[in-house]
Chains A and B, each alone.
Chain A
């Protein structure tokens, strides 16, 4: 049985009068890909932000690779990375300059070689000399993914990794992530609204609604449990709260 890469316990976040995350508890097994799903406002991004350490929880505990993220996050951050279409890289720097800067920030050895590898894998050669701000949304997503893979992370957090990509590029991104995970044993936690992506890539799914975990399991088990044909339908059931079981908070530990 694999170990636990990410352990979240009774995590809460309150913004003024709104409790965005209400006692979330889950585990992400090492070497697996787990989806954090939920409708808008379910608490996915808030949870991811707390996992990354850019948002302080009101209470609760987060452990990543055995490190307490609230007390010693700088010990584990070199082994993590993150990408989101909603966080930009410096626009006036070229792609190569951006990658070089982040390679140094993450302490990547032989950074030129690593940038070369990622350039080949993600088909970035023609973009290297172009300012990041001049790239299309899809090209930016590829560059952000390259930035996220620079340090060969053991834990990769992805916020809608294929948003705004056309089906062809989106498929290539998914293949690349799958290949990276297979070869590196990386643990991936992704927030996504693309249910076919979740079915394809994820070993586990954690369903959030109104800041609580309402269900979890593999995509196949969830589809079976809800008597549906696809994760899209399961998602709609959960997001719309058609099932009474969803009124309870679920402990999604392994």
Chain B
């Protein structure tokens, strides 16, 4: 059978095009959703850490507010910051843990011999990351409202911009971490939990970038997170949405997501050269 004749067969046709691609992404998402949604401990654990952190910062705010003019002006500042930080953290974890799950299951071989394409695998990971982030941060947001009458939605439409920018950077780091895990095995899994904290000090989550030494400020402005949190401060303290910061964050996100995807693709290519895709697992 020639390649052209083969390509004309109905089965091959069904496997091509956007609809087929979406179907495979849905399959991958369904595979992880089955796992996630049937396990209440998993769901609780996703919201647990953001909620506990939020409660800590909320009580600190209550303690400091009477004597601090800054917090009197913007009482939701720390709570908003911690919730947005967790968008980044959950976004990254969502990508890395979804990939790690495939390795623990020794399922990579089955995925890579299926018609699933690399960009569909990545898209499935990103979709799961979004789901995990919404569950995790959504739970903490609900508790912030119930316990402290703080609604993150009071930020209005800019919240969507902040959320999207942080989620995208989380994806970029998550893809890079997945690449490391694929390259160095499950021993590198700790990176999934620790990697994002490397950027925390220079992201200006709880303080302005201006307090950093000049050299670190340059590093900060090379990260979309610094622009997002500066933007958040401008919104909460001055009531203005800084489009310039938003634009910078978007442009940097595009670059970082492209870099993360390229690293992941390179790691897959390397694994195909080394023959580890069928062997990887616990």
| Residues of A that sit less than 8 Å from B by CB | 3, 13, 15, 30, 45-46, 49, 52-56, 65-68, 72, 74-82, 84, 86-93, 97, 100-107, 109, 147, 151
Residue from A15, A52, A72 within 8 A of B113 (CB atoms): A52
The complex places the Cα of A105 from the Cα of B27 at a distance, in Å, of 6
Query: For residue B11, which residues in chain A have a CB less than 8 angstroms away from its CB?
Result: 78-79, 107, 151
Are A88 and B106 in touch, CB under 8 angstroms?
A: yes
Cβ distance A69 to chain B, nearest Cβ, rounded Å: 11
Query: For residue A52, which residues in chain B have a CB less than 8 angstroms away from its CB?
Result: 112-113
Query: For residue A91, which residues in chain B have a CB less than 8 angstroms away from its CB?
Result: 105
Chain B at the A interface: SS class: helix
Are A78 and B35 in touch, CB under 8 angstroms?
A: no
Given contacts A56-B273, A66-B5, contact A107 B113 (CB under 8 A): no
Query: For residue A15, which residues in chain B have a CB less than 8 angstroms away from its CB?
Result: 274-275
Residue of A nearest to B10 (CB): A109
Residue from B105, B114, B273, B278 within 8 A of A90 (CB atoms): B105
Are A80 and B113 in touch, CB under 8 angstroms?
A: yes
Residue from A55, A66, A81, A105 within 8 A of B6 (CB atoms): A66
Are B30 and A77 in touch, CB under 8 angstroms?
A: no
Residue from B6, B113, B116, B272 within 8 A of A82 (CB atoms): B113
Given contacts A15-B274, A75-B3, A79-B12, contact A53 B27 (CB under 8 A): no
| Residues of B that sit less than 8 Å from A by CB | 1-3, 5-7, 9, 11-12, 14-15, 20, 23-24, 26-28, 30-31, 34-35, 101, 105-107, 109-117, 269, 272-275, 277-278, 281
Query: For residue A65, which residues in chain B have a CB less than 8 angstroms away from its CB?
Result: 1, 6
Are A67 and B3 in touch, CB under 8 angstroms?
A: yes
Are B12 and A72 in touch, CB under 8 angstroms?
A: no
The complex places the Cα of A84 from the Cα of B109 at a distance, in Å, of 10
Chain A at the B interface: SS class: mixed
Beyond contacts A87-B106, A88-B107, A93-B34: 20 other A-B pairs, Cβ-Cβ < 8 A, are A49-B278, A55-B278, A66-B6, A67-B6, A68-B3, A75-B7, A76-B6, A79-B9, A82-B113, A84-B278, A90-B35, A90-B105, A91-B105, A101-B34, A102-B110, A104-B27, A105-B24, A105-B28, A105-B114, A106-B115
Are A56 and B114 in touch, CB under 8 angstroms?
A: no
Residue of A nearest to B23 (CB): A104
Query: For residue A56, which residues in chain B have a CB less than 8 angstroms away from its CB?
Result: 269, 272-273
Cβ distance B29 to chain A, nearest Cβ, rounded Å: 10
Query: For residue A79, which residues in chain B have a CB less than 8 angstroms away from its CB?
Result: 6, 9, 11-12
Residue of A nearest to B19 (CB): A107
Residue of B nearest to A67 (CB): B3
A-B residue pairs, 7 tightest by C-beta: A104-B27, A78-B15, A87-B109, A88-B106, A55-B275, A66-B3, A90-B105
Query: For residue A89, which residues in chain B have a CB less than 8 angstroms away from its CB?
Result: 105, 107, 110
Are B115 and A54 in touch, CB under 8 angstroms?
A: no
Query: For residue B277, which residues in chain A have a CB less than 8 angstroms away from its CB?
Result: 54-55
Residue from A49, A80, A82, A107 within 8 A of B20 (CB atoms): A107
The complex places the Cα of A90 from the Cα of B275 at a distance, in Å, of 21
